[in-house]
Structure 1
Amino acid sequence: MQDDILALALEVSRVTSEKISQIESIMRQTRLLALNARIEAGRAGAAGAAFGVVAHEMGDVSDHITEVAQQLRVAVQANVAQIETVGGEMMTSFRGARLQDIALNAVEIIDRNLYERSCDVRWWATDSAMVQALEAPSAASTAHATERLATILRSYTVYLDLWVVDASGRVVANGRPVAYPGVVGLDVSRQAWFRDAMATRDGDQYVVADVASAPALGGAPAATYATAIRAGADPDGQPIGALGIFFDWAPQAAAVVGGVGLSEEEKQHARVLLLDGEHRVIAASDGRGALNETYALKAEGRARGFYVEDDRLVAYALTPGYETYEGLGWLGVIEYRLAPTREVPARARTPAMA
């Protein structure tokens, strides 16, 4: 609707200016005719005196109409300019609020997805095959755990790999040994996700690491979830190792940033981003900057909002978490390139609740 208002204002300005120009052109012709009439009346002497008076009045009327037309031009231009300004602000505010909602939706989709990953890791850590591989290590128990992990991966296609790690930090089984043959025997004792998993208080706790490149998994970006595998699969049992699961981040994130509810026109002017808690780009609809760009977001402590900077409208929303998943401080961001003559800067906005 805002686009229609601005288009109508511009059309009114164009048509009015065109018609005023036509009036001014007619008045110029009228003045010339009046001048010629006065000249001819002068030549006619006393016989043309009356006609000369009429010609003089025609010139005065022409001048007055021209003056009114000029005043009308100024008034219309001023009002149309104001309509454009107010309409541009309305359109920017409307678009900013809408893009803010879409940014929130994008990060909520990720939250719901990653909440399921937190459920997965806690569930699978109680699987008897994982527990036996650590409580009674043998070639048979390790093979059984490997097969069990492979079965899970066939059903859950969103993972790169799943690892069972003993208490010393050595990987004893993984679900894709053919794809990732160097994983078994790998020492992960110094990796934060393993140490934090071993420090969890009970089976309800889990840990999650921000998206990072996983060298042992071909350098693919992964979101790592982990929890302790406990003796006897008891939620309060002693940690005897850890389960690490590696969420295949790139295709899932691409589906989110590429599938947000933007119109085709908006997609041509927008960049959809997911940022981690440090404002590092972890996904981008244009494929640029993932894991190596830090975005200069000016949220100024607000959970959500939008602002205009230069020719960009930036809308953002902080992860609200989902059920027991509190999130990692990630943000959805949409950067939209404004049309310089159609939208004008608006103040930073944020809902009262943010």
Structure 2
Amino acid sequence: MLCDLDSHTKSAVEKLIPFMPEIGRCRTVFAQLERQWTWIALTGKINCNAIASTLFDFIFKTRDTFGLLRHDLTGMLAEKLLEKAVREMSPVAQVVMDIIKRNLYERTADVSFLATDGEIIRFLQEGAGDMPGMRARLQAYRAKYSVYRDILVLDPQGRVRVQLDAARPVSASHDPLIGQTLASQDFVETFRPTDLSPDGNAALVYSHAIRAEGTAAPLGVLCLVFDMEGEAADLFSGMARFANDMAVLLLDERGEAFASSNAIAAPVGRVYHCDSATSFSITGFGGKTSLAVSRPSEGYQGYTGQPWRAQVLCSAQSAFADRPTDGLDAELVRREADFSAQLTSIEEQASDVMGDLTLAALNGQIMAARQSGNAREDERHAAQALPPILDAVRKMCVQMEREFHRFTNGLLNTVTASRLNDASFLASITVEIMDRNLYERANDCRWWALTPDFRKILAQPSVSRGDLARLEGVLEYINSYYTVYSNLFLYNAHGVIVACSRPSERGRYGEQISEDYVRRTLALTDSNDFAVSPFRVTELYRPDGEARPSYIYSAPVLPPEGGAAVGGIGIVFDSLPQFEGMLDDTLPRDCAGAVLKGAAGFFVEAGGVVVASSTPDMTPGENCRLPAEWLALGQGECASHLESVDGVLYAVGCACSRGYREYKRDGRYANDVLCVMRLPI
């Protein structure tokens, strides 16, 4: 957003005006009209000066006043067009970074938890362990968390004990990250070329020392290699629906691109200029004058990660190209759009000037009529010549006003169409953030269901006191890393709760859950399958002491020897703050960082159940009526329209979820969610 017209913006406007076709048309039209005006005024002064010299002096003065207004109009047009272009590019850059940081935040929990996996610890303790069994376990992990390109387990000397990626084999690593990880009690995040990824490209590696419980000496190092290429491709494909004329780049701390949505025009490996002091800059992209917008991430949940930036590039020709604005109600926009007053004020000034000139011309005609009868012959000729000249002046005034109105309407419609696009984009990207987040929930429940202690203990006829303490300890430990859950619980083959992560929930032991998602979970035999509860009020989620609606993800716990499920794990998503946070993160903000007054958003299931809202007038769990056009949206589709509420005009965008990676795309789970964004215009 251009919060004020500083010297940088003023200079940019002057450089970019040649690429704004609307400004060119405006200048051409008014230059022609001003030439006609001058010709009319000169003709009148030559022929009628004897009786109307003061009038023609006023006409010339009015022409000069009009020239200043025309200059103000073209300046305002140019400023608004630049503001529109930057507003369209900025959310793309910001959202790309925020989505990536949310994703990578989940990876820090993954590596920290997986490094304590009992099977991996035993594998290293045994020295010559079950290599095929360990590879199968890591393969099962990657099948759940498909964001990883490779997983490696190394001993303290850097020798690779097991690796998943057979296409890029590594026997040993001499990378300093091994020593750094062994010396650390926390995870280590590394982004650069490494011998752990022998293709020569920079790799994003999350590593953690592997230690047996109660011991300080590390047994080895776990390395998770993130699938940055796949992540960037999926992210860029989602952006392409709204940024198909833009190039989106991911830049490291030196400004070097390591991912690009258009590798031909904006190749990786190049250093791109980033100006953190301004909201945008002018640069060369593909050999053309272009706009560049760069945004860092503000982090997520205290995690800042790599010092990356997202940059969006758009050629000036494309940024200011004419866009369709058919179907907009220009008078509604003119009457109720908040920004329209800035434009119509210039138009109103021009109208006042033209009104004064029209009145002067009318007075001139009256004067000519009086002079034509009893004046000298030269004055009579002048009086006879004056009316057609003044008539031409009146027609000129009408045409001038019409052109002012036309160009003002054009810009009002252009900016409004852009805001409608913004609303659709923000709705689409916010529901994508939701899908990406819930993808992790499906992964979590399926992986935790494979915990050996869960499988062994639930397969027994009863749970002893010691076994219960073990189950509670593991659940509590998991929950300490994965804080988006209000509770994790285990239930047996009869759907009876036997263990919980939260001490406050342990009074539920012995309680039978008769929900359909539990029955479906217990009928599953594939560890890759899961079930999800409907979004509705449940006693298992009481964030403020009152039962609230949430999603509960559930996966079957299968016995060690295989066969029917011996129970299941349920994970209660902390929906109230988590969904509100997703909406809040993408709502547009003013220059002070506050959410724009009147901006709002909500999630709603296609069946009409409200999932979350940024405003108190919609309560999660209640039902609302949805317009037919929203219900007709397919996965990944969006729509937008104008809406007037109490004299305030809004752009309202609605988008249907499209899933993420295999989540909601592989047929295991279907749940269309709509996101609606309302932006004041």
**Superposition TM-score, scaled by structure 2 size:** 0.44
Q: Does 1:231 align with 2:533?
A: no
What is the CA distance between 1:287 and its match in structure 2? 3.5
Match of 1:344 in 2: none
Secondary structure of the structure 1 residue equivalent to 2:596: helix
By how many angstroms is 1:117 displaced?
Answer: 0.8
* Unaligned 5+ runs, structure 1: 43-48, 339-354
- C-alpha spacing 1:283/1:69, structure 2 compared with 1 (3 Å): farther
Classify 1:79/1:205 alpha carbon distance in 2 versus 1 (closer, same or farther; 3 Å).
same
Tell me how far apart the structure 1 counterparts of residues 672 and 450 of structure 2 sit (CA, whole Å).
Answer: 29
C-alpha distance after superposition, 1:315-351 (max 9, x if no partner)? 122111112211521122212344xxxxxxxxxxxxx
Counterpart contact for 2:361–2:393, Cα < 8 Å: no
What is the Cα deviation at residue 261 of structure 1?
5.4
Match of 2:652 in 1: 314
How far off its partner does 1:10 sit?
3.6
Partners of 1:310 and 1:261 lie apart in 2 by 18
Residue in structure 2 matching 1:271, options 600, 607, 613 = 600
Match of 2:482 among 145, 156, 166: 156
Deviation at 1:244, TM superposition (A): 0.6
**Larger mean Cα displacement after TM superposition, 9-18 or 319-328:** 9-18
Consecutive unaligned residues in structure 2, runs of 5 or more? 1-76, 82-339, 645-649, 665-669
Quick one: which of 493, 497, 521 aligns to 1:197?
Answer: 521
1:80 is displaced (CA, Å) by 3.6
1:161-196 CA-partner distances (Å, limit 9, x unpaired): 11111111110111113x2243211110x2011011
Q: Which residues of 2 match residues 1-354 of structure 1 at below 5 A?
A: 4=80, 10=344, 13-27=347-361, 30=364, 49-50=375-376, 53-60=377-384, 62-136=386-460, 137-177=463-503, 179-188=504-513, 190-218=514-542, 219-232=547-560, 236-260=562-586, 262-264=588-590, 267-289=596-618, 290-297=620-627, 298-299=629-630, 301-303=632-634, 304-311=637-644, 312-326=650-664, 328-338=671-681
**Separation (CA, whole Å) in 2 of partners of 1:60 and 1:201:** 102
Q: Cα gap change, 1:281/1:66 in structure 2, threshold over 3 Å: closer, same or farther?
A: farther
Distance 2:344 2:599 in 1: 25
Q: Provide the C-alpha distance between the structure 2 equivalents of 1:261 and 1:31, rounded to a whole number of angstroms.
A: 59
Residues of 2 paired with 1:9 and 1:337: CA distance?
Answer: 17
Amino acid at match of 2:611: I
Q: What is the alpha-carbon distance in structure 1 between the residues aligned to residue 538 and residue 530 of structure 2?
A: 19
Question: What residue identity is the alignment partner of 2:500?
Answer: N
Aligned length: 324
Question: Taking structure 1 as the reference length, what is the TM-score of the superposition?
Answer: 0.80
Letter in 2 for 1:253: F
Change (3 A) 1:221 1:319: same
Does the residue aligned with 2:406 lie in a helix, a strand or coil? Answer: helix
Structure 1 residues 130 and 264: CA distance shift in structure 2, 3 A: same
Q: More displaced, 22-31 or 215-224?
A: 22-31
Q: CA deviation at 1:68?
A: 2.6
Match of 2:251 in 1: none
Deviations 1:290-329 (Å, cap 9, x if unpaired)? Answer: 2214242322523323232542432122111112211521
Distance verdict in 2 for CA 1:324–1:81, change over 3 Å: same
Name which of structure 1's ranges 9-18 and 124-133 shifts more when overlaid on structure 2.
9-18
Considering Cα pairs closer than 8 Å and 6+ residues apart, tell me whether 1 or 2 has the greater RCO: 1
Contact (CA 8 Å) 2:368, 2:387: kept in 1 or not?
no
SS at match of 1:92: helix
How far apart are residue 122 of structure 1 and its match? 0.8
Q: Secondary structure at the match of 2:655?
A: strand
Aligned-residue sequence identity (percent) comes to 21
Q: Deviations over 1:202-248 (max 9, x none)?
A: 1110011233222233213321100111111x6x5320111111010
Residue 272 of structure 1: how far off its partner (Å): 1.2
- Maintained 8 Å contact 1:308/1:314: yes
**8 Å contact 2:365–2:390 — kept in the other structure?**
no
- Secondary structure at the residue paired with 2:569? strand
Tell me how far apart the structure 1 counterparts of residues 361 and 381 of structure 2 sit (CA, whole Å). Answer: 13
1:245-276, CA deviations, whole angstroms, 9 ceiling, x for partnerless residues? 10101111111101105242883232212121
